[in-house]
Amino acid sequence: MSRFGRNLAALTLAAGGALATVLGASSPAVATGGYDIVLVQKDVLSGNTIEVPIFVNISPSLAANLCGVNIDVITVLTDDDQRANCPNQGRNAKVKKH
């Protein structure tokens, strides 16, 4: 195998391992799906608030991992139809439940 091939294989394995780490870190007692991470923006012309989806229909544990917050924060706030802050995705990012 050429040097390029070995480097490509190593990079592919490293990227796959990092993705598996993020996706695999979940709490087994939590339901899956039903959560979105959105950017909340205000339309300057109309004054309306719009939500731009970043991640759609993900598990609460994945949402917590992507946002860098405890899963309890995600589930408690969204159960009351509120939006939970998502600091790792930007200051205007929020988590909402379907």
**Per-residue pLDDT tens digits for 41-66:** 988 899 999 999 999 999 999 999 99
Amino acid 27: pLDDT: 43
Domain range spanning residue 54? 28-97
- Does residue 28 surpass a pLDDT of 70? no
Instruction: Evaluate whether residue 10 is within a structural domain.
Output: no
Residue 28 φ/ψ, nearest 5 degrees: -70, -20
Instruction: Evaluate whether residue 33 is within a structural domain.
Output: yes
Instruction: Evaluate whether residue 86 is within a structural domain.
Output: yes
Cα–Cα distance, 96 to 19 (Å, whole number): 23
Cα–Cα distance, 97 to 79 (Å, whole number): 7
Instruction: Evaluate whether residue 15 is within a structural domain.
Output: no
Instruction: Evaluate whether residue 43 is within a structural domain.
Output: yes
DSSP H or E stretch at residue 12: helix 3-24
Residue of 95 and 26 predicted with greater confidence: 95
Instruction: Evaluate whether residue 1 is within a structural domain.
Output: no
Mean pLDDT score of the chain: 74
Q: How many domains does the chain have?
A: 1
Residue of 60 and 6 predicted with greater confidence: 60
Percent above pLDDT 90 for the chain:
31
